[in-house]
Chain A
Amino acid sequence: MTALVLRGVRPYGEDPVDLVIEGGVISAITRPGSAAGQVIDATGLVALPGLVDLHTHLREPGREDAETVETGSRAAALGGFTCVHAMANTDPVADTAGVVEQVWRLGQKAGLVDVRPVGAVTTGLLGEQMAELGAMAHSPAGVRVFSDDGKCVHDAVLMRRALEYVKAFGGVIAQHAQEPRLTENAQMNEGALSGVLGLTGWPAVAEEAIIARDVLLAEHVGSRLHVCHVSTAGSVEVIRWAKSRGIDVTAEVTPHHLILTEDLVAGYDPIYKVNPPLRTHDDVAALRMAVADGTIDAIATDHAPHPHEDKDCEWAAAAFGMLGLQTALSVAQHTLVDSGLLDWRGLADRMSVRPARIGGVQTQGQGLEPGAPAHVCVVDASTRWTVDPEAVASKSRNTPYASMELPGSVRHVIFGGVPTVIDGALA
């Protein structure tokens, strides 16, 4: 079998090399121009380990009009990902071994990325009865991340038990931190703007109070906690404090919370309706700093496809969520790398190494070393492109970045030694 050679590529934006891939692993890293085989010219391009998303809504089963495992996998591959975690809020909910196994098999069939199903914490996401976490963990899907995402596990006893229970199989609870009573009918960040617009506020404290409770619970029972889509400066402070205390907590932030602010809501265009809501400039600044200093471990897309009719309506009637897979790396480059907060190695840590570790995915996030599984994302960091909703691979079009110019385009992606994307198109 011929070797695949990424010629002249720059791992982490550093010195150019030939990156040689054989038998599904990175077999050698040699002087540029020295390796032979099936050559892909990647001169000057940046190589990163394949990106790992901890938070993806693939909508299948149940909402195949919005996305399928197949279409979501395409969007993921084109965005530089080699692994995504498929959220549990499908219909039926991924709260049994049967559903997670179905999603896992659909991922294998699509064959473009590792699709790792997330299991629901509670049956039907109802927050009442613990789902069969063990059965999901021991199914072929091998679930390690459990989340009621979209709903908060707000019952403190249930949260405590879940945190404890998953220790038996190395699982983690990924909490959607949203105090339900404080956010009834909430539409946008609560602040001066929500008051003016007459939209019910989603106060920062509703997120921060749950995170504070959960880190203390995790400490009390000696468990691992992951916090989904952190959106406020106050949440960052709580997590920083928890980590300084030695509490085993990790956290993610979405690309959109690193770049967009609540001001966009002023025109009532539901394309900007998302949960947690877009926050303030101060929150954005704090979140960027938190990714830079490692308080926030991972960038996770919260890719949330919705059909056109669920966004082409009045604000209150619209669905929460926005696309993210095909823009995540560009937004991260813009907000973190081009701004000087992180180098490419740092970004690879937050978008591949750490998310793989949090998700317990041993075959991903192993870096660009000889012997590592050949999951590689090759980016042209020097170009800029304009986001066109009609051109996305996702089945839905609800990107908030339409017409926005972003840096960095994914050129090639290697998944397990096999190219999934060549020259910016599916291979």
Chain B
Amino acid sequence: MKHLLSAGDLTRDDAVLILDTAAELATVTDRSVKKLPTLRGRTVVNLFFEDSTRTRISFEVAAKRLSADVINFAAKGSSVSKGESLKDTALTLEAIGADAVIIRHGASGAPHRLANAGWIGGSVINAGDGTHEHPTQALLDAYTLRRHLRGGRGDLAGVRVTIVGDVLHSRVARSNVLLLRTLGAHVTVVAPPTLLPLGIQTWPCDVSYDIDSALPDADAVMMLRVQGERMRAAYFPSANEYSRAYGLNSDRLHAMRPDSIVLHPGPMNRGMEISADVADSGRSVIVEQVANGVSVRMAVLYLLLGGNMKGQG
């Protein structure tokens, strides 16, 4: 595998290998010297056309822990509206010898173009494209689920995950539905009908409009960020109504199994899709997701740039 563009491109074995690799690399974080020499001399570019401090920092830390040279290229504001910018930026990165380009872009499919248009020769990692996908987020979510629900080994066979929120606009939801299904989990997505894409019935998941029916059986619930602008575009009548109908509060948390966990890709709208007490409760693994993100991204960089687990200790 050369690129990571879609979670749907990963087989079960690919995904399990990434998670296993991440688990091994996570031990680096516990050392006093948090660094492996693996990618010394390799150049990794963070190409971010959208603001995303947490994802960019996560990739940056991951690459640095593998001793790669990291270049942060914040392209926001440099005329994304004019199409040349992506191509010209790509040609620039190619000229300086980027081994991997991590791209966050507002246009769905931009990483595919970067990987397939013949502009660059290095690996492309999708760090979130428009309303399409965010595969490393799905991997870190799977890693977190596996750690809590499967003892950190194997796949997610039989695990029941409920994803709630703006599925229509969510790249996190798309990648998670694909990856969790590949790993054997059973996924239910919950949203008001206006925030579900046409054709959702063809996705490998169940669909519900009712959060309360989708919580009692769930091993985990993943709350998606709902942006206020959706309200102005008439996807739902008001923030209050959304919060009442689809928000995760402590009453709903109580209706869930006591060993179930709560995920959120961040950044959260506290009081909107998730109440503060739930976000800060012991069942919330939201902060841990961030830490796991570094390990998973280390694993992806490591495997894509030709690393080999054998011989590492």
Contact = CB atoms under 8 A, between A and B. Distances in A.
Given A190-B198, A192-B199, A317-B82, A312 B117 contact: yes
B80 A317 contact: yes
Contacts of A318: 83
A197 B202 contact: no
A192 B197 CA distance: 8
Interface stretch (B55-63, B107-115, B152-160): B107-115
Contacts of B171: 198
B104 interface: no
Nearest to B130: A198
Contact of A313 (B83, B131, B132, B202): B83
Contacts of A199: 108-109, 130-132
A369 to B, nearest CB: 50
B65 interface: no
Given A195-B197, A198-B174, A268-B113, A310 B83 contact: yes
B87 interface: yes
A163 B171 CA distance: 45
Interface in B76-113: 80-84, 86-87, 105-110, 112-113
Given A309-B84, A313-B87, A314-B83, A192 B108 contact: no
B219 interface: no
Interface in B103-147: 105-110, 112-113, 116-117, 129-133
A193 interface: yes
Contacts of B309: none
A201 interface: yes
Interface in A252-269: 267-269
A310 B132 CA distance: 22
A146 interface: no
B283 to A, nearest CB: 30
B198 A314 contact: no
Nearest to A317: B83
B83 A309 contact: yes
A194 interface: yes
Contact of A314 (B86, B202, B203): B86
Interface string B272-301: 000000000000000000000000000000
A193 B199 contact: yes
A221 interface: no
B198 A192 contact: yes
A198 B108 contact: yes
Contacts of B174: 196, 198
B200 interface: yes
B199 A313 contact: no
A416 to B, nearest CB: 41
Instruction: For chain A, give the interface size range.
Output: 20 to 34
Contacts of A216: none
Contacts of B198: 190-192, 194-195, 201, 203
Nearest to A203: B198
A197 B129 CA distance: 10
A197 B83 contact: no
A195 B109 CA distance: 13
B199 A317 contact: no
A315 B109 contact: yes
Contact of A317 (B107, B197, B202): B107
B105 A198 contact: no
B108 A316 contact: yes
B199 A315 contact: no
A317 B86 contact: yes
B112 A268 contact: yes
Interface string A193-211: 1111111110100000000
Nearest to A318: B83
Contacts of A194: 197-199
Interface in B185-232: 197-200, 202-203
Given A191-B199, A267-B116, A316-B130, A197 B109 contact: yes
Nearest to A312: B87
Nearest to B119: A312
A32 B16 CA distance: 75
B108 A315 contact: yes
Given A198-B129, A310-B83, A317-B82, A268 B199 contact: no
Interface centre among B105, B198, B200 (most CB of A within 10 A): B198
B132 A197 contact: yes
A314 B113 contact: yes
Contacts of B117: 312
A310 B84 CA distance: 8
A317 B199 CA distance: 25
A313 B109 contact: no
Given A191-B198, A192-B199, A201-B198, A268 B87 contact: no
A198 B133 contact: yes
A192 B203 CA distance: 9
Interface centre among B84, B107, B174, B200 (most CB of A within 10 A): B107
Contacts of A268: 108-110, 112-113
Nearest to A311: B83
Given A268-B108, A316-B106, A317-B80, A198 B87 contact: no
Contacts of B84: 309, 313
Nearest to B202: A192
Contacts of A190: 198
A320 to B, nearest CB: 13
B240 to A, nearest CB: 26
Given A195-B198, A197-B109, A317 B130 contact: no
B83 A312 contact: yes
A187 B132 CA distance: 13
Nearest to A201: B198
A109 B108 CA distance: 44
A397 to B, nearest CB: 15
A314 B199 contact: no
B303 to A, nearest CB: 24
Q: Which 7 A-B pairs have the closest CB atoms?
A: A313-B83, A192-B199, A268-B109, A195-B197, A198-B132, A316-B107, A317-B83
23 contacts: A194-B197, A195-B197, A195-B198, A195-B199, A195-B200, A195-B203, A196-B174, A196-B199, A198-B131, A199-B131, A199-B132, A201-B197, A268-B109, A268-B110, A268-B112, A268-B113, A269-B113, A314-B83, A314-B109, A315-B107, A315-B113, A316-B110, A316-B130
Interface of A: 187, 190-201, 203, 267-269, 309-310, 312-318
Interface of B: 80-84, 86-87, 105-110, 112-113, 116-117, 129-133, 168, 171, 174, 197-200, 202-203
